[in-house]
Each structure stands twice: as structure tokens, then as C-alpha cells.
Amino acid sequence: MKSIMPLQKREITSSRLILGCMGFGGGWNSDPITSEDILKAEKAIDAAQAIGITMFDHADIYTMGKAEKVFGEILNTRPSLRENMVIQSKCGIRFQDELGPQRYDFSKNHILSSVDAILGRLHTEYIDILLLHRPDPLIEPEVVAEAFEELKTSGKVRHFGVSNMSSAQIKLIEAYSSEQMIVNQLEMSLRRNDFVEQGILVNQKAGNSVNFADGIMEHSRLENIQLQAWSPLANGMYTGRKLDNLSEADLKTIELVEKMANEKNTTKEAIVLGWLMRHPASIQPVIGTTNPERISNCAEAVHQSEDMTREEWYSLFTSARGQKMP
């Protein structure tokens, strides 16, 4: 079944996958970026483009700003790349410093200064989409609206969205802003599959993740909001990464994914992503690897999503949740 993403309907991008750039730039420290860091990122970008990925996901905090800086160095030496890219970044998380503990900051000054810093690191005049990075309990939506208006008018940001927010939180922001939130980035995968069951929390493993019981999937589909999935490969659980403390359901699902991949002559990554993309909400996975081989392994995800039967989809879902449907 073919589906059209909300971002495609808005003529922003037709890239069904996004390359997440959190792994660019080396470690989460203040060490300077190296030529090796740049080469590693460049190989990942080229591998992504080779399988049709034209959208790239950043955040101002990724590797302490170095992810964007490395990306910007590549754009600086290969400026023609920018013409065929959709770049999104996020702001709002502040690490512990001399002023206070780790916190969220959706103040106007912080949003505006964050975007200026993002543009400087990326060596670009604008970003296509700016996301507010997780909810800020102290949000003043009228202040956020002012920041968005200034960024849109100046041409620094073309579109806006959020990450890890409920439908109610999105509605609050939109009540004060002329800008619609066109993206919501959430943790979704074959393992984190509670988004599937309407109103029922199946396996809320991550305490900082959204409670899908508030109807966020339905709201997104009604309002044409692009759902993006972070950690869509479940940290490599089903695709070969060795992890400890796996449940019986995890082990059985690992076997099932491998069996399906062999039968369809494809990769395990394509099966896992295809399962997620088979959902009629047209979910857009953000793959976070910098390994060119793993990126290439995702090439058939779109085809697998279109080819996956209802029975195959439910077989994977039932196996991953470890019990029958209620």
C-alpha cells in the first residue's frame, strides 16, 4: 500500500526516510572536530543520498553542537548539496551549567539565539523546519509565537514543529501562533509499539516518551502532522546488535524478522522499518546510524512497507508485544 506523507503533501520533501545526525562530530564533549569526523559524516551523507534520502535531522545539542558543525563544514566545501536537502534542527534543551541544572527553555531569546547559532554552525541561511525539543513545563505559548513569527519573517526558518509532545501540547502552541506545527517526532518502533493500540498503553518502556493514549495518532492524521519516529530500529535489537536482558518475546521477534528477511530476500532493517512505515499515518523513520552499510541496508524499507500484508504486519506486532490482541 502506497501512502503519501504530510510533508510530501505540503511539497516539502518526498524522502520517506530521514538520516539522523546525532552521531556526527565525535563524542559528547568539547574536543575539536577532526578531519576523520568530517570524513565519517560525509560518507554517511553520501550513503543516505544513494538510497534516496534527502532529509537530515539535527539538534543544537547533538555532540555539543559538533554534529551541526561537521555537517556545515561539508556544506561549506560542497555547497551544491544544500539545494537538494531538507534540513531540520531542534532547540530548547539546555545542559547543566553555571546558571542551573539541565532544563528546557522555550523563551523567545533562547529560541532566537539558538537558531542563529544553528545557522552559523551549518553554514546555511535558513533551515527548513525547526522543532521544539521536548516539552517545556514553563512554556508561554504567546512568547513562542512571537519567536516563530520573527524567524519566519526573517527567512531563517520556513516551517515549525515539535518533538515528544502530546496533541494537547500542540494545540496549546497553535492557539497562539499563526504557524501550524507540521511535525511531531516521537519514539516509535516495533519494540516501542504502544502507538498502535488506541487508548491502551502496551509497553511504556521510556519514561520520557509520550503517552499515546491521548489520541495523538488520530490528531496527527486529522491535522496533517508529519509523524517522525526516533529510534525506529529499536537500538538495533532486531537487526543484529547484541543486547542483554532480552525477553522471550524479543528473542522470538528477532527470529521472525530474520525469517521474513530471508524469505523476501531483503535486509532485517528493511523489514523493521517497513513494519513501521506500513502504518497508515505515513510515519517517517529517522535512522540514526553513521555506518554506510547499515544505511544502505535500509534501502528497501519503502518497498517492504508497500509489500507487507496485514497478516505479516500483525504477526510482527503480536510477536513483539508478547501476547495476543486484547
Q: Using CA atoms, how far apart are residues 65 and 30, in angstroms rounded to an integer? A: 9
Q: Using CA atoms, how far apart are residues 1 and 278, in angstroms rounded to an integer? A: 8
Name the phi and psi angles at 133, rounded to 5: -90, 90
At 126, is the secondary structure helix, strand, or coil? Answer: coil
- Write down the catalytic residue from 62, 104, 126, 176: 62
Q: Using CA atoms, how far apart are residues 205 and 231, in angstroms rounded to an integer? A: 13
Q: Where do the DSSP E strands lie in the chain?
A: 18-20, 55-57, 86-91, 93-94, 103-104, 127-133, 157-163, 181-187, 226-230, 284-287
62: annotated active-site residue: yes
Per the structure block, which three cell numbers stand in for 1? 500500500
Asked whether the beta carbons of 278 and 308 are under 8 A apart, the reply is yes
Asked whether the beta carbons of 282 and 3 are under 8 A apart, the reply is yes
What is the secondary structure of 16-83 as a DSSP string? Answer: SSEEE-TTTTSSSSSPPP-HHHHHHHHHHHHHHHHTT--EEE--TTGGGGHHHHHHHHHHHH-GGGGG
What residues are labeled active site? 62
